[in-house]
Amino acid sequence: MNLLRQLGKMLAGGGMSGTSGDRGLYYYVRCNRCGEVVQVRIDPMNDLSAADGEDGLFARKIIVGRRCYNRMEAEFSFDSNRKLRDSRVSGGTFVDKDAYLEDQQKAAVKSGN
């Protein structure tokens, strides 16, 4: 499983560039099909668009993990202060960062064998 190991390295080093001033918003979604936890980054400058018919902002993300071909579709709505107001996802489940880190660790252990 060299591929997974490489992916793990990429993920581990992924925050190296531009750690200062990263304005991204991060969410985590667990794939309903394989259980992989995928990080979703929303860039407020690029990903948010005005919501129809109400105040606030809206973002839509198609998420595909690395372990299977399941497509997850997440929608986020924010108020005018860019605070998350509502979120939903199809094909997956929202989880917290701890679940994401745990999943990364499991993948790393697997690739070590």
Which residues would be at the binding site for Zn ion (CB under 5 A)?
A: 31, 33-34, 36, 65, 68, 70
Cα angle: 93, vertex 81, 100; to 5 degrees: 25
Closest residue to Zn ion in the complex (CB): 31
Minimum separation from the CB atom of position 37 to Zn ion (A): 10
- Which residues, including other chains, have CB under 8 Å from residue 25's CB and lie 6 or more apart? 41, 42, 43, 44, 82, 84
Token match 């690739």: residue?
111
34 vs 50, which CB is nearer to Zn ion?
Answer: 34
38 vs 59, which CB is nearer to Zn ion?
Answer: 38
67 vs 82, which CB is nearer to Zn ion?
Answer: 67
